[in-house]
Structure 1
Amino acid sequence: MGLRDDLDRFREVGEQRREDLKEFISYGDLGGSGPNSINVPIKVVDLPEFAYDPRDKGGVGQGQGGTPDVGQPVGQPQPGDGDEDGDPGEEGGDHEYYQMDPEEFAQELDEELGLDLEPKGKEVIEEVEGDFTELTRAGPNSTLDFEQLFKRGLKRKLAMDFDEDYVREAMTVAGVTPREVFEWCREQNILVSQAWIDDEWDALEAERGRWDSFDEMEANVERTTTIQRIRRDGLRNVPFRREDERYRHPEVVEKKQKNVVVVNIRDVSGSMREKKRELVERTFTPLDWYLTGKYDNAEFVYIAHDAEAWRVDRDDFFGIRSGGGTKISSAYELAKEVLEEEYPWSEWNRYVFAAGDSENSSNDTTENVIPLMEEIPANLHAYVETQPGGNAINATHAEEVERALGDTGNVVVTYVSTPEDVIDAIYDVLSTEADE
């Protein structure tokens, strides 16, 4: 392979600069990112090149003044061997990052995992005018809805229309009176008024006696339908009335703020060692980024617990470790209190994410945790079990929650044993919410 082939190969590798999103979530340095800026490492590839020493440094085998003889000590390192102060260099090589905001991260994760979560609006922040879809009986002439006016007038015409020629033929039956003609029309479901018959009566005096009976007239004269007459004569004399008028007004649309609060709960008891804590961080951190990118306003509550629970800052959340036992219900009691006081269900979307190794004090899951999960209204409750070495004998919390609430639609239980499981766990959580 020649030098040109080497260069082409290096360029090809260099074009694929950004670390794969799944690889970044499972193995990357998540701690290098902030809540509003995700730093995804870029693979830096330097193209090979020749480097030449300056000519004034001397040639091969040419010594300089003061060059020690063979075996003579060369002394202590001089400035320039390390950094400028003479100390060994401490800085690593340069690193580059692709920065994305949470919204871009959410879009890419949607594409990567095939998700389609549509945030729900909660708190009404303003009312705006939408399309002219509302109709009222009064308004300026410029907003008169002519289509509605015509439809109402046409509906009346079709309801009142009758075959005038057919009724006139009935009025020529020998010996009948206007009242008898009117009653006959009613029997035939012809909606003609007595006044109309009276107005037409005298004009047909010369033709009276053409038919001996109504039956004879019916047998010899064809009655036409409204549609047939419209096709023959066209649509004329549509009766419009003032009560048919409708005026278009803009629909009032409530613009809602898409608020979300995410309660992250983590077991910090003695059994939650470093690998388990890392798996929690790798699962919860991308979920936080994703929901921040999806919602207009996202807030986060971090609760740590062993046998008791307390609220902590995000910076402390993933690093805390205590030596106490475990009582998961203490965290849900605190979560319920915080949500009721600060994040009312009518105004906030709620996600309650808990993680641990499924170890819990006896009967606490069935007697306390499950009832509390049912009492806390939320878009989604999730429990992430982290057990790198496989399930412990007393690690039954996840199974008990799944067995009791797995079919409720807003509860998901997922299992993470290795970094490779993190992406699947995130998909399980977010796809459950998307289905809702």
Structure 2
Amino acid sequence: NKRVTIPLPRIDIPHFSFGSGEKGGVGQGEGEVGDEVGQGQPQPGEGEAGDQEGKHTLEVDVTLEELANILSEELELPNIEPKGKENIEDKKYKYSGIQRQGPESLRHFKRTYKQALARSISSGDYDPDNPIIIPVKEDRRFRSYKITHEKTANAVILYMMDVSGSMGDEQKEIVRLTAFWLDTWLSTQYKGLERRYIIHDATAREVDSDTFYKTKESGGTLISSAYKLALKMIEDHFNPSEWNIYLFHFSDGDNWSGNDTADCMKIIEQNLLPISNLFAYGQVESRYGSGQFLRDLHKHFGETNEQVTTCQIKDRESIMDALKVFLGKGK
């Protein structure tokens, strides 16, 4: 039930306002050389108390679920169909009936009163002028529950990001915003959703979310190091028969060598695709990045591959288009 606050743009109705006094003229009007044009706007915390109303910002609170529904409608996203073999049975207790015996904590007071009233009327003891109803032991009713087994599905998102010198703060902010929307949507599709974070330059390591978005290195880039670590984490912690696995990799497209790129294609094709619901690569545009890795993926897998989803994210305005590409297949 987490909520977010969204500021709404507000357009004021046009109106006339009185000036704040003669300040001297400029241009072709009145005024002499050296006259003060104005004193400017006071800085926050300066000036005297005023008698005019301030500017108010309209805000609306929405839950993350409502936000996900809005996202779904805007992008026309399909509901995800989890892999069948990972479904896990979960016990659910549902109060669905009434019984004569039970603990006091489950007593149904409304049904107990109705039973006592019916007994009082049928026995002739009920007095409309003095409608006092006293339940006896036989009148008590209790809620009963039954255990149902429902299928649930667990999911894990493995975020991978290049943090080499060519990935700046602007690129990381785009990744952060994209990941927020991915999280928001997938959280509505799965009851249990875990997130893991991998950063890489020439080597890869697992980190927490805060480190993921703030770390910057100055070394080169070996993308295969991230894919190898992701594979090891899946093998150690996320059995593909029990988990829906989503892999999202963000980079500016630079890689150290063609040999490492060839290793990446091999790991994706032979190891990651068979065990994951989705492998998605988002290339964040950078003035220092070559963008070559996206071209290599297209060359190896094709531009419209059902198993490998790729997208170029040029700026913040491109994030919604990227989400449409990443989530539009309903996997």
**Shorter-chain TM-score: which interval?**
0.5 to 0.7
| Aligned with 1:263 (options 114, 133, 158) | 158
User: Which residue matches 1:99?
Assistant: 61
Aligned partner letter, 1:125: D
**How far apart, in 2, do the equivalents of 1:330 and 1:94 lie?**
50
> Are 1:111 and 2:111 matched, yes or no?
no
Q: In 2, distance between residues paired with 1:113 and 1:102?
A: 16
Q: Does 1:412 align with 2:317?
A: no
Inter-CA distance 371–430: structure 2 relative to 1 (3 Å threshold): same
Task: Give the Cα–Cα distance (whole angstroms) in 2 for the partners of residues 285 and 111 of structure 1.
Answer: 17
- Quote how far apart the aligned CAs of 1:101 are: 2.6
Structure 1 regions of 5+ residues with no counterpart? 1-34, 52-79, 85-91, 129-252
1:375-431 Cα distance to aligned partner (Å, 9 max, x none): 021110000011144962xx3111112222346522111101122222111111111
1:38 aligns with 2:4: yes
Structure 1 residue 117 displacement after superposition: 2.2
User: Which amino acid in structure 2 is aligned with residue 337 of structure 1?
Assistant: K
Do the aligned residues in 2 keep the contact of 1:260 with 1:350 (CA within 8 Å)?
yes
Whichever residue aligns with residue 403 of structure 1, its letter is K
Which of 290, 305, 310 is the equivalent residue of 2:200? 305
Structure showing the higher strand proportion among its residues: 2
Shift in Å, 1:119: 4.2
State the identity as a percent.
31
Q: How many residues align?
A: 243
3-state DSSP class of the match of 2:74? helix
- Indicate whether 1:275 and 2:170 are aligned: yes
Aligned to 1:420, what secondary structure does the other structure show? helix
Q: Which residue of 1 aligns with 2:87?
A: 122
Conserved in 1, the CA contact under 8 Å of 2:167 and 2:286? no
Which has the larger helix fraction?
A: 1
Deviation at 1:344, TM superposition (A): 1.1
**Cα distance change, pair 359–110 in 1 and its aligned pair in 2 (3 A):** same
For residue 325 of structure 1, report the CA deviation from its aligned partner: 0.8
Q: For residue 384 of structure 1, what is the aligned residue in structure 2?
A: 282
Say whether residues 1:292 and 2:254 are aligned partners.
no
Which structure 2 residue ranges, 5 or more long, are not aligned?
A: 18-44, 94-147
Whether contact under 8 Å (1:260, 1:297) holds in the other structure is yes
1:254 and 1:269 map into 2 onto residues whose CA distance is: 48
How far apart, in 2, do the equivalents of 1:83 and 1:303 lie? 53
Write out per-residue CA displacement over residues 140-194 of structure 1, whole angstroms, 9 at most, x where no aligned residue.
Answer: xxxxxxxxxxxxxxxxxxxxxxxxxxxxxxxxxxxxxxxxxxxxxxxxxxxxxxx
Map Cα deviations across residues 84-122 of structure 1 (whole Å, 9 max, x no partner): 9xxxxxxx9765532323322221111101111234262
In structure 1, give the amino acid aligned to 2:179: F
Query: 2:175, 2:250 within 8 Å by CA — same for their partners in 1?
Result: yes
Q: Which residue of 2 aligns with 1:183?
A: none
* Native 8 Å contact 1:388 1:418 kept in 2: no
For the 8 Å contact 1:119–1:258, the answer to whether it is kept is no
Structure number with larger C-alpha Rg: 1
C-alpha distance in 2, partners of 1:127/1:40?
A: 35
SS at match of 2:328: helix
Work out whether residues 158 and 197 of structure 2, in 8 Å CA contact, stay in contact via their aligned partners in 1: yes
User: Where do 4+ consecutive residues of structure 1 move more than 6 Å?
Assistant: 46-51
Residue 273 of structure 1 deviates from its aligned partner by 1.6
For 1:332, give the aligned amino acid: Y
